């Protein structure tokens, strides 16, 4: 893992601008100083309050100032609170104004509701599965986009990030609608990691058909509720923190970091354990064409 790798900070449900989010920003900055992140990735709910001229300063620019100044792009996943009052429209415009990737600077990156991040050995598919005022997933466009992207043959690590969880031992428990919608497609087109937020804790589950599902929603508020889940929980934390994912051509390392910057759980996955290319079906041209309208590929340079 010493050679060129993609080292990512994954965090979620952070957009409150409260003291806990500032604590998150500080530990992310401290870990970045030890091993720089290529970029950060939020699992959604990046904004909880109504849009105002000063809002992005309070919920993003100030808590993450050190990392933004260090040039870290922050890729955003839309969450249900980002869809309230059409807040996502302003977030998309803010991303255009910041234009972080083109300028080679740190800052907010939200190129589209559904988009792809490509970097070195990884393809990350970011999806919007949410809608304003609804706990029920609104996944039609996301599903079409995901199927088209997963049909592409690649030897890269494949990561999917969306806001609603599938399994959870937290407040809401397992999300049966998300499971019903996404598990059949993921079984057909397996990926390596699936990250979600929405629940306000963090946990990782025993692999399902070789895929690792994690909740990363402990960015600014903690909920300690415990519910049963159909899937075995390998590790859970009820404290503020984030997750680091490091990927090179052959190995992936996942680390849960606590509010003190300590590594509290980690595992490694070798590419040999990952899904062989032979299991990937050929691309469906019609599906690719239909989803092309929402395809945005963001490359990290």
Q: Is 80 a binder of Fe ion (CB under 5 A)?
A: yes
Region of 28-36, 54-62, 72-80, 202-210 interacting with Fe ion (CB under 5 A): 72-80
When asked if residue 218 is in the footprint of Fe ion (CB under 5 A), the reply is no
Q: Is position 45 an interface residue for Fe ion (rule: CB under 5 A)?
A: yes
Q: How many CB atoms lie within 10 A of CB 75?
A: 24
- Rg from Cα positions in the chain: 18
The answer to whether residues 94 and 47 touch, using CB atoms and an 8 Å cutoff, is no
Which residue in 38, 158, 198, 218 binds Fe ion (CB under 5 A)?
Answer: 198
Structure token pair of residue 47: 């904004």
d(C-alpha 31, C-alpha 262), whole Å: 9
Q: Could you say whether residue 31 binds Fe ion (CB under 5 A)?
A: no
Size of the site for Fe ion (CB under 5 A): 4
CA 164 to the chain's CA centroid = 11
Taking CB under 5 A as the rule, which mask of x and - marks residues 237-276 in contact with Fe ion?
----------------------------------------
- DSSP code, position 68: H
Q: Which of these segments, 92-100, 131-139, 191-199, 268-276, binds Fe ion (CB under 5 A)?
A: 191-199
Rounded-to-integer distance, Cα 22 and Cα 53, Å: 20
> According to the binding rule CB under 5 A, does residue 170 interact with Fe ion?
no
Closest residue to Fe ion in the complex (CB): 198
Segment near Fe ion (CB under 5 A), from 35-43, 80-88, 113-121, 233-241? 80-88
Q: Which residue is listed with tokens 């990363």? A: 216
DSSP classification of residue 103: H
Token pair, residue 128, equals 């919007």
The answer to whether residue 82 forms part of the interface with Fe ion (CB under 5 A) is no
The reply to whether 79 sits near Fe ion by the rule CB under 5 A is: yes
Q: How many residues does the chain have?
A: 301
Q: Which region, judged by CB under 5 A, interacts with Fe ion, from 42-50, 63-71, 208-216, 267-275?
A: 42-50
First to last CA, the chain: 20
Q: Compute the least distance from the CB of residue 83 to Fe ion, in Å.
A: 10
Binding site for Fe ion (CB under 5 A): 45, 79-80, 198
């Amino acid at each position: 893992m010493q050679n060129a790798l993609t080292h990512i900070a994954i965090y979620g449900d952070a957009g409150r601008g409260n003291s806990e989010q500032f604590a998150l920003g500080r530990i992310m900055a401290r870990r970045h100083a030890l091993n720089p992140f290529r970029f950060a990735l939020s699992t959604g709910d990046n904004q909880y309050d109504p849009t105002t001229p000063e809002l992005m300063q309070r919920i993003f620019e100030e808590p993450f100032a050190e990392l933004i100044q260090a040039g870290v792009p922050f890729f955003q996943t839309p969450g249900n609170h980002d869809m309230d009052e059409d807040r996502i429209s302003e977030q998309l415009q803010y991303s255009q104004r910041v234009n972080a990737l083109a300028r080679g600077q740190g800052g907010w990156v939200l190129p589209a509701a559904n988009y792809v991040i490509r970097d070195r050995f990884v393809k990350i598919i970011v999806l919007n599965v949410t809608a304003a005022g609804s706990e029920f997933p609104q996944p039609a466009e996301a599903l079409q986009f995901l199927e088209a992207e997963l049909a592409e043959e690649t030897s890269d690590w494949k990561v999917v990030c969306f806001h609603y969880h599938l399994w959870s031992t937290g407040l809401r428990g397992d999300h049966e609608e998300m499971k019903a919608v996404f598990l059949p497609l993921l079984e057909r087109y397996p990926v390596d990691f699936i990250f979600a937020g929405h629940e306000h804790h963090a946990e990782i589950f025993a692999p399902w058909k070789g895929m690792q599902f994690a909740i990363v929603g402990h960015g600014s508020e903690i909920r300690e509720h415990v519910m049963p889940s159909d899937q075995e929980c390998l590790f859970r934390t009820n404290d503020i923190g984030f997750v680091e994912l490091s990927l090179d051509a052959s190995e992936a390392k996942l680390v849960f970091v606590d509010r003190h910057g300590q590594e509290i759980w980690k595992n490694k996955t070798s590419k040999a354990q990952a899904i062989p290319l032979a299991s990937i079906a050929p691309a469906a041209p019609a599906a690719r064409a239909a989803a092309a309208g929402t395809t945005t590929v963001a490359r990290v340079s």
